[in-house]
Amino acid sequence: MEVEELKVKKQIKKYDNEKKALISILQDIQEEYNYLPPEALKIVSKSLDIPLIDIFGVATFYRAFTLEPRGKHLITVCLGTACHVRGGPKILEEFERKLNIEAGETSKDGQFSLETVACLGCCAIGPVVVVDSDYYAQTTIRKVSSILKKHIKKD
Ligand code: FES
C-alpha cells in the first residue's frame, strides 16, 4: 500500500500537530497500513518537528509497533514457561508448517504474521495463542487449522 502524504498529514492534523500525540498518531498510521512505513514516519517527523531518529526510537520501543509490513492477522504463540511445558513449541511448529513460514515471518498471501511472546499473563489457561485480539485458551495442535480458518472467514 502506498503512503499518501495528504492522508498522513490529515491523521496528524487530527491531533492538532501536537508532539505529545506522537504515539496516538503512530497507532493510527499502523492501523491504516498494518505497519509503520518509513515514508509515513518521515512525514510525521517533518510535521511535528521531531527528529526521525526519535520517532524510530519510539516505534522500536513499543512491541505493538512494527516497521516491517505485517500480514492482515497477527498470530502470537506464547512460549512462556507455563505454555512451553504444555506444548507451546509444538503449536508454534504447527502454525509454521501450515503457513509455510517461521516465527517472525509473514505468509506469502499476506494473511498472517507469526510471532512468539514470553508470557501473556494468563498462564492458567495455557497454552495460549492470540490472533489479533482473540485469545485461544488450552490450544492444541488440532485446533490450529480451525483457528486459521476462523480468521480467514472473518475477512
Ligand atoms: S506462559 Fe503463556 S501466558 Fe504465561
Catalogue all structural domains in the chain, each as residue range(s) with its CATH number: 5-61 (1.10.10), 73-154 (3.40.30.10)
Task: Say if residue 70's pLDDT is above 90.
Answer: no
User: Rounded mean pLDDT of 107-117?
Assistant: 93
Residues 6+ apart with CB under 8 A from 91: 77, 127, 129, 139, 140, 141, 144
How far apart CA 41 and CA 25 sit, in angstroms, is: 10
Q: What is the CB-side half-sphere exposure of residue 63 using CA atoms within 13 A?
A: 8
| Alpha helices (H) in 49-128, listed in sequence order | 52-61, 81-85, 88-99
Residue 123 Cβ contacting ligand 1 at under 6 Å: yes
The pLDDT assigned to 68 comes to 86
**Higher local confidence (pLDDT), 52 or 72:** 52
**Beta bridge partners of residue 47, listed in sequence order:** none
Atom of ligand 1 nearest to the CA of 125: 3
Q: How many Å lie between the centroid of ligand 1 and the Cα of residue 131?
A: 15
Q: How far is the CA of 117 from the centre of ligand 1 (A)?
A: 8
Q: What is the mean pLDDT of residues 135-148?
A: 97
Cis ω before 127 (30° cut-off from 0) = yes
pLDDT of 69: 86
**pTM given for the model:** 0.74
Segment 97-115 mean pLDDT: 94
Q: Is the CB of 128 under 6 A from ligand 1?
A: yes
Where on the phi/psi map is residue 111: left (φ > 0), alpha (ψ -120 to 50), or beta?
alpha
C-alpha cell at 57: 526510537
Q: Give me the mean pLDDT over the 87-106 stretch.
A: 96
Indicate the top mutation candidate among 116, 120, 135 to test ligand 1's pocket, ranked by most ligand atoms within 8 A of CB. 120
* Distance from residue 124's CA to the centre of ligand 1 (Å): 8
